[in-house]
Amino acid sequence: MMYLPEAHSCFILSLEHDLFPEAGFQLSGSCSGGKAMKFLTTFQAADFFDTLVSLAAAFVLGTLIGAERQYRQRTAGLRTNVLVAVGAAAFVDLAMHLAGPDGGVRVIAYVVSGIGFLGAGVIMKQGMDVRGLNTAATLWASAAVGSCAGADMIAQAVALTVFVLAGNTLLRPLVNAINRIPLDEKRSEATYYFKLAVTPHALPAMRDRLVEQLEAAKYPVADLDVVEIGDGQLEIVATLVPTAVDPNELNAVALDLQKQSGVRHATWEVSTVD
């Protein structure tokens, strides 16, 4: 009598058993009779309960983080943070059950890098400001919470949730207080934009002159752009290398350029939004 191990396909074994009964093929294990499902032989109540606890913890903790984001009407709100946490927990829990701690570590590495693509979707550039960085960071933290829950580190997941909520709530008054402090241009490093409105025929000459005068004042230009502002006028926007500046020096450059032919106005502004 020939014996085939369980590693062979149950479908092939069943087919051969029906077509060639005289060969004496014996169906082994869960393939016996083609009736027993592999699920019934592999299901373990303890493992299932462990997975259930991990997913439930990720769901509850993700809800806490997402509720705060939803209350503030952020792009990634309650459902997004919950799904990120639960998804991360599911992947890590699955890897832990199939490949042990080593498999869990590998999956966590993929979660850390993969969540970056989701976070990039909530970062938006509006004019010269970039928004959504805090929301993207919160999604990253939600994935970390889910990963802890999936790795059966429930206490660590709870502690991380507390720190994430504290960062998004308790630090807000401190941020507002710092933002109300008048900006000291000589001591604060920020991004400065020098704007020069010119007529079309004066554009080539004034673009070169703007760069020359800024660099002569020891303010190198990182980027130069030209935009239309209507009424037949163009605006040259020079982005300076982030640094501390002396307002009087930039004002002197603006006054000198404003005297040139074809220049409508010259001004500069600062942006401290990351």
Percent of the chain with pLDDT over 70: 79
* Least confident range of 64-73, 170-179, 201-210: 170-179
Residue 4 has pLDDT above 50, yes or no: no
Residue 109 domain-assigned (yes or no): yes
Residue 186 domain-assigned (yes or no): no
**Residues 74, 162 within the same domain:** yes
**Residues 51, 157 within the same domain:** yes
**Residues 123, 82 within the same domain:** yes
**Residues 136, 90 within the same domain:** yes
The 10s digit of each residue's pLDDT in 208-250 is 999 999 999 988 898 899 988 877 789 999 998 877 788 889 9
How many domains, in total, are found in the chain? 3
Residue 14 domain-assigned (yes or no): yes
In this prediction, residue 149 carries a pLDDT of: 95
Is there a contact between 201 and 181 (Cβ–Cβ < 8 Å)? no
Is there a contact between 162 and 145 (Cβ–Cβ < 8 Å)? no
In this prediction, residue 53 carries a pLDDT of: 95
In this prediction, residue 245 carries a pLDDT of: 80
* Least confident range of 19-23, 107-111, 119-123, 126-130: 19-23
The 10s digit of each residue's pLDDT in 55-91 is 999 999 999 999 998 988 887 889 999 999 999 999 9
Over residues 91-118, the mean pLDDT reads 89
Distance in Å from the first CA to the final CA of the chain:
74
Return the structure tokens found at 12: 């092939």
How many angstroms from the chain centroid is the CA of residue 205? 42
Which class for 179: exposed (0-12), middle (13-18), buried (19 or more C-beta within 10 A)?
exposed
CA nearest to 149, candidates 141, 157, 160, 140: 157
**Residues 63, 159 within the same domain:** yes
Entry pTM: 0.58
**Residues 80, 167 within the same domain:** yes
The pLDDT-based confidence of 189 (bands split at 50, 70, 90) is: low
**Residues 34, 68 within the same domain:** no
Residue 184 domain-assigned (yes or no): no
Residues 6 or more apart in contact with residue 22 via CB below 8 angstroms: none
200: domain CATH number is 3.30.70.260
**Residue 29 region by backbone torsions, left for phi larger than 0, else alpha for psi between -120 and 50, else beta:** left
Is there a contact between 219 and 240 (Cβ–Cβ < 8 Å)? yes
Over residues 195-201, the mean pLDDT reads 91
Over residues 1-16, the mean pLDDT reads 46
Identify the domain boundary among 141, 176, 211. 176
Identify the domain boundary among 131, 149, 176. 176
Over residues 108-123, the mean pLDDT reads 85
Per-residue b/e over 185-219, b at no fewer than 16 CB within 10 Å?
A: beeeeebbbbbbbbeeebbeebbebbbebbeeeeb
Is there a contact between 159 and 153 (Cβ–Cβ < 8 Å)? no
Cα 201 to Cα 93, 138, 241: the distances in Å are: 66, 49, 28
**Residues 23, 76 within the same domain:** no
In this prediction, residue 19 carries a pLDDT of: 47
Residue 4 domain-assigned (yes or no): no
* Least confident range of 57-61, 136-140, 153-157, 241-245: 241-245
The pLDDT-based confidence of 166 (bands split at 50, 70, 90) is: very high
* Least confident range of 123-127, 135-139, 202-206, 238-242: 123-127
H or E, element range at 21: none
Residues 6 or more apart in contact with residue 55 via CB below 8 angstroms: 86, 89, 90, 93, 149
Over residues 160-178, the mean pLDDT reads 90
**Residues 118, 216 within the same domain:** no
Percent of the chain with pLDDT over 90: 38
In this prediction, residue 7 carries a pLDDT of: 42
**Residues 25, 54 within the same domain:** no
Return the structure tokens found at 89: 């927990």
In this prediction, residue 6 carries a pLDDT of: 46
Residue 30 has pLDDT above 70, yes or no: no
**Domain that includes residue 93, residue range:** 45-176
Residue 203 domain-assigned (yes or no): yes
Residue 2 domain-assigned (yes or no): no
In this prediction, residue 5 carries a pLDDT of: 45
**Residues 55, 161 within the same domain:** yes
Residue 57 domain-assigned (yes or no): yes
Q: Report the chain's mean pLDDT, rounded to a whole number.
A: 81
Q: How far is Cα 37 from Cα 249, in angstroms, rounded to an integer? A: 80
Q: How far is Cα 120 from Cα 136, in angstroms, rounded to an integer? A: 7
**Residues 81, 131 within the same domain:** yes
